[in-house]
Chain A
């Protein structure tokens, strides 16, 4: 029952937000619902429920391994959202708050979907629900970003539906009777029609890969992350991409059951390395610190994809990386949001010397930079180390070398932009705007908490998480 509450509570909260009268008190619904969600999610993490074999929904090991991270990220972002919406009183927030809560509910649904069709419906709904979030600022640039997000994301969604159909036909051709739960498809295993499974795999990787932001389907990401408010960026980067990643993992398990795991792994490895390469090159070129975050996200999606291609150890590391990336990226998004608001601009040409104007946010931004570029002792260091170790263990030396090379270039690119923003002398225009942006606890504590979680994940990964990831890997490699 608790697993359904994870979906119902946020959706009910969204309805409540839609009818709530006061613009001033409405944002408080965000942390309230977020808190309930976190309590439920962690309760389920510690005490996982049993799942009926043919169930269409369920808090299965894979959901258990990632959903609590999304939930916790949402809570912290929601707390930031209260302070953020207080500064942005000039924009009505009814639609924004309602849709943000709806996204949380739909994400929970997507993570818990054990049925091909339901998974697709949830992802589609998340995509549509996030459209008003991207358009929150209402500027022509926001419209442009929203349009591109819809066009590229919509095409991705359409292709993943085509892939789901192809997988359905593979099952039908293999004598299936229309059972499209992932457990049912895996059980059908070798009888699935191979050509159709491979067609489905290609379409699913392209389709859900678009949502996840793997290169070359990442083109919506810089625009969307650049124009959306910081909390939306953090939730898209930490939550929406995660649901697409687990979707790919679930389909991969079916492909493996059909006996084509070698092809699946090769695809994931190639597309992961390509994403890292593209991200590293664009990071070296970008002058906009919010778009920089998007390319950094593409890079980390690449790491996830590579990890998933490297067998059980790599998959475990990828799930670990979901957690460490989710919180570290969240901290970066929120601190970048503060700097963006204080500076009133986002490119290196207009922003500089933010360590003078917003010392706390700048400190968080720099710390976040070191965390995300995998400096010990933060979470990403340990998860990326595991991915690289898995690569060497499985004999993927060249891939590991390329991964390390891309990480190095990404480090150059990120430090160039971050220190350009933080160091130097503040621009005159920014000095005026900066005075209107006090660094209150409401905007400083959330990114600090996220960095703290990232540090804690790195230094003392809780045993319950390790065990949850192991269980998820066992679920994904359950076929004989």
Chain B
């Protein structure tokens, strides 16, 4: 059941890489957030309030709050909805597929505890981290980079699920990563209000160079 969700998340990685529209990218990311939020509940045999809290916070944060903030930033910045890729969509997809295969292969090299044997969490995590990197490097718009960062972070969260029973605190701390994203987005909005750039194209951020 969890593996199904991991599979869904991995599929959404490829959707995120293949889409050419910003709202679609945000939607893929939000759906991945919800899938991640459901995972800890599915992993449970009996209900644990701490795990429930993590799940609720994840769905609320990754699935609702951040996507809506991003949409607001998109409106505030009044940017057009096309994604401008540095790495084209098809090459991104191929890279993403390659990353997924590499993640599955690498996942086999790392020893797992018996109770995690057969779980797709480790390959899923690595695939998402790599997808996040491809989006961070291969997209120009600030908002699509934030989406890339979020997908990278989702990968880390998936890995954290392996630890949720023994060290819940560490995993809960990971939710703080979402704060970083919050700061990113608020930064965009605040800066919009203060006026700085005509478009949120990170290509314009090139005054500082050697």
Q: Is B173 in contact with A117, judged by CB distance below 8 angstroms?
A: yes
Report the interface size class on chain B.
35 or more
| CB contact between A155 and one of B112, B136, B166, B187 (< 8 Å): that residue | B136
Residues in A with CB closer than 8 Å to B202 are 147
Known: A195-B111, A196-B111. Contact between A168 and B208, CB under 8 A? no
B14: Cβ under 8 A from any A Cβ: no
Is B1 in the interface zone, CB < 8 Å from A?
Answer: no
Check if B167 sits within 8 Å of A178, measured CB to CB.
yes
Residues of B within 8 A of A164 (CB): 170
Interface presence of A227 (CB below 8 A): yes
Tell me whether A9 is interfacial, beta carbon within 8 Å: no
Q: A145 contacts which of B153, B197, B208 (Cβ < 8 Å)?
A: B208
Within 8 A of B (CB), among A119-149: 120-121, 124-125, 127-128, 131, 135, 138, 140-141, 143-148
Scan residues 159-206 of chain B and give those whose CB is less than 8 A from a CB of chain A.
159-160, 162-163, 166-167, 169-171, 173-174, 176-177, 179-180, 183-184, 187, 191, 194, 196-197, 202, 205
| Known interface pairs A128-B179, A141-B208; A154-B187 also in contact (CB < 8 Å) | no
* A141-B207 in contact (CB<8A): yes
Total A-B residue contacts, Cβ distance less than 8 Å: 120
User: Are A222 and B197 interface neighbours, CB within 8 A?
Assistant: no
A162 interfacial contact with B, CB 8 Å: yes
Question: Which of A121, A145, A154, A199: most chain B CB closer than 10 A?
Answer: A154
Contact partner of B191 (CB less than 8 A), chosen from A125, A143, A155, A196, is A143
Verify if A337 is at the interface (C-beta below 8 Å from B). Answer: no
A224 nearest in chain B by CB position: B208
Q: In the complex, what's the smallest C-beta–C-beta distance from B151 to chain A, in angstroms?
A: 11
Q: How many residues of A contact B (CB 8 A)?
A: 50
Q: Is the CB of A165 within 8 A of B153?
A: no
Chain A residue contacts of B187, Cβ below 8 A:
131, 135, 143, 146-147, 150
Contact with B along A396-421 (1 / 0, CB 8 A): 00000000000000000000000000
Residues of chain A contacted by B145 (CB below 8 angstroms):
151
Q: How far is the CA of A196 from the CA of B142 in the complex (A)?
A: 34
Instruction: Give bound CA distance, A172 to B161, whole Å.
Output: 13
Residue pair A158, B153 in contact (C-beta under 8 Å) = yes
Q: Which residues of B contact A6 (CB under 8 A)?
A: none
**What 1/0 flags go to A252-284 for Cβ under 8 Å of B?**
000000000000000000000000000000100
CB distance from A121 to the nearest CB of B (A): 5
Q: Tell which of B112, B171, B196 touches A143, judged by Cβ atoms closer than 8 Å.
A: B196
Tell me if A's interface is mostly helix, strand, loop or mixed.
helix
Pick from B109, B142, B149, B156: contact of A161, CB under 8 Å: B156
Q: Is B170 touching A116 in the complex (CB atoms < 8 A)?
A: yes
Q: Does B210 contact A (CB under 8 A)?
A: yes
A residues near B153, Cβ cutoff 8 Å: 158
A188 interface residue (CB < 8 Å to B): no
16 pairs of residues in contact across A and B, judged by CB atoms under 8 Å: A143-B191, A143-B196, A146-B187, A147-B205, A150-B180, A150-B187, A158-B177, A158-B180, A161-B173, A161-B174, A162-B155, A168-B166, A172-B113, A172-B166, A173-B111, A173-B113
Interface residues of B (CB under 8 A from A): 109-113, 125, 129, 136, 142, 145, 149, 152-153, 155-156, 159-160, 162-163, 166-167, 169-171, 173-174, 176-177, 179-180, 183-184, 187, 191, 194, 196-197, 202, 205, 207-208, 210
A residues whose Cβ falls under 8 Å from a Cβ of B: 116-117, 120-121, 124-125, 127-128, 131, 135, 138, 140-141, 143-148, 150-151, 154-155, 157-158, 161-162, 164-166, 168-169, 172-173, 176-178, 180, 193, 195-196, 199, 222-223, 226-227, 282, 285-286, 291
